[in-house]
Chains A and B, each alone.
Chain A
Amino acid sequence: MAANVGIVGIGHTIFGNSSEYDLSDVLAYAATDALQDAGYLEKRKEIDQLVVGNMASGLFCHQSAVASSVISRMDMEPVPAELVENGPASGASAVKIGYMAVASGLADVVLVVAGEVMRKVTGWLATDYVATMLHTEAEYNMGLTLPAFGGMFTRMYMEKYGLTERDLALLAVKNHDNGAKNKYAHIQLPCTIEAIADGPEADVVNTYVAEPLRMYSTCPVSDGAAALLLVNMDSPRAQEFKKKPVRIAGVASATDTHCVHNRKDPLKLEAVRIAAEKAYKMAGLSPKDISFAELHDAFSILELAISEEVGFFERGKSFLAVRNGETEINGRLPINTSGGLKSKGHPVGGTGVSQVVELVRQLRGEAEEGRQVKEPKYGMSVNFGGFGNNIVSVICARD
Chain B
Amino acid sequence: MIDFSVYNATAPTIQGYKCQNCGSIHYPAPMICSKCSKRRDPVTGKGWETFDLEGPCELLTWTRAWNLPEGYSRKYLLFGIVQFENGLRASGQLEVENPESGMKLVAEVEESDERPGDPVSIFVFREK
Contact = CB atoms under 8 A, between A and B. Distances in A.
B67 A209 contact: yes
Interface stretch (A98-106, A119-127, A237-245, A269-277): A119-127
Contacts of A143: 68-69, 72, 77, 79, 93, 112, 114-115, 122
Nearest to A150: B63
Q: Which of B65, B67, B81, B114 has the most CB of A within 10 A?
A: B65
Interface residues of B, number: 34
B69 A210 contact: no
Contact of A147 (B67, B72, B112): B67
B44 interface: no
B98 to A, nearest CB: 12
B62 A152 contact: yes
A148 interface: yes
Contacts of B120: 137, 141
Given A123-B67, A147-B65, A142 B28 contact: no
Contacts of B62: 152, 155
B69 A127 contact: yes
Interface stretch (A190-198, A260-268, A357-365): A260-268
Contacts of A208: 64, 66
Contact of A266 (B66, B81, B121): B81
Contact of A159 (B27, B63, B101, B115): B101
Nearest to B100: A159
B68 A142 contact: no
Interface string B1-41: 00000000000011000000000000110000000000000
B50 interface: no
A140 to B, nearest CB: 9
Interface in B79-128: 79-81, 89-93, 101, 112, 114-115, 120-123
Contacts of A148: 63, 65, 79
B70 interface: yes
A260 B91 contact: yes
Interface string A259-296: 11110001000000000000000000000000000000
A139 interface: yes
A373 interface: no
B122 A141 contact: yes
B69 A137 contact: no
Contacts of A13: none
A131 B65 CA distance: 13
A127 B72 CA distance: 12
Interface in A147-196: 147-148, 151-153, 155-156, 159
A201 B111 CA distance: 41
A37 interface: no
Given A128-B70, A138-B91, A143-B79, A151 B28 contact: no
A142 B122 contact: yes
Given A127-B67, A143-B114, A145-B67, A156 B61 contact: yes
Contacts of A210: 63-67
Given A131-B69, A145-B67, A210-B65, A152 B28 contact: no
A315 interface: no
Contacts of B121: 137, 141
A73 to B, nearest CB: 31
Interface in A179-230: 207-213
Interface of B: 13-14, 27-28, 60-72, 77, 79-81, 89-93, 101, 112, 114-115, 120-123
Given A137-B120, A137-B121, A261-B81, 13 more contacts: A127-B68, A127-B69, A135-B28, A137-B14, A143-B69, A143-B72, A143-B115, A152-B61, A155-B62, A207-B66, A211-B64, A260-B81, A261-B91
Interface of A: 122-125, 127-128, 131, 135, 137-139, 141-145, 147-148, 151-153, 155-156, 159, 207-213, 259-262, 266
